[in-house]
């Protein structure tokens, strides 16, 4: 079965929407604070959503953007794999995982702690079946990126 270009973009819009719904649902319904790398992964899905919405009405002219969509998903997967290495203690957290500014007084430190809305990248907040959310994000994003590569190589049906 071959999908039309419009169906491929609808698939990507659905994928990005589900990923973002899970991310925001985890944050707001389950009070799981995202780390800096989690935000970068969200940016990837927001970009995918935007590219898909913009590309859908362009028709065949936007076909090369399927390759860009695949790159977005694989890039998001690499960010998640990097986060897994941080969680496992294999590498030191990057600047994205650190606080943006250093407190110089006890009062500043107290204010930063109370205002903190970003979790540390090396602390797993939730596990499902023994795996962190970053592990799931890494493999799902990679798998989806490979699917999009397959879709980009696939010819659309003649009408």
Q: pLDDT tens track of the chain, all 159 residues?
A: 677 888 888 889 999 999 899 888 888 888 878 887 888 888 999 999 998 888 888 777 777 888 999 999 999 999 999 988 888 888 777 666 655 455 567 676 666 555 555 667 667 677 778 878 888 889 999 999 999 899 888 777 665
* Collapsed DSSP state (helix, strand, coil) of residue 128: strand
DSSP 8-state symbol, 105: S
**What residues contact 89, with CB distance under 8 A and at least 6 apart?**
122
CB contact set of 77 (below 8 Å; sequence gap of 6+) = 137, 138, 139, 141, 142, 145
DSSP code at position 2: -
For the chain, what are the domain ranges? 5-153
- Block residue for tokens 């003649």: 158
The correct answer on CATH 1.10.287.3510 for the domain covering 5-153 is no
pTM: 0.77
H/E run at residue 132: strand 131-132
pLDDT at 98: 59
pLDDT per position as a tens digit, 43-75: 999 999 998 888 888 777 777 888 999 999 999
CA 103/CA 88 separation, integer angstroms: 28
What six digits make up the tokens of 132?
């962190």
């Amino acid at each position: 079965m071959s999908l039309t270009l419009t169906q491929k973009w609808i698939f990507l819009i659905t994928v990005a929407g589900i990923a973002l719904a899970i991310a925001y649902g985890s944050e707001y319904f389950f009070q799981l604070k995202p780390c800096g790398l989690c935000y970068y992964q969200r940016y990837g899905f927001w970009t995918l959503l935007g590219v898909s919405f913009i590309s859908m009405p362009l028709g065949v002219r936007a076909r090369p953007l399927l390759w860009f969509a695949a790159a977005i998903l694989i890039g998001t997967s690499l960010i998640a794999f990097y986060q897994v290495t941080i969680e496992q203690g294999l590498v030191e957290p990057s600047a994205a995982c650190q606080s943006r500014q250093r407190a110089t007084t006890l009062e500043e430190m107290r204010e930063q702690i109370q205002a903190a809305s970003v979790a540390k990248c090396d602390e797993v907040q939730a596990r499902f079946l023994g795996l962190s959310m970053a592990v799931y994000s890494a493999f799902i994003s990679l798998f989806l990126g490979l699917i999009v590569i397959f879709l980009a190589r696939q010819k659309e049906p003649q009408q």
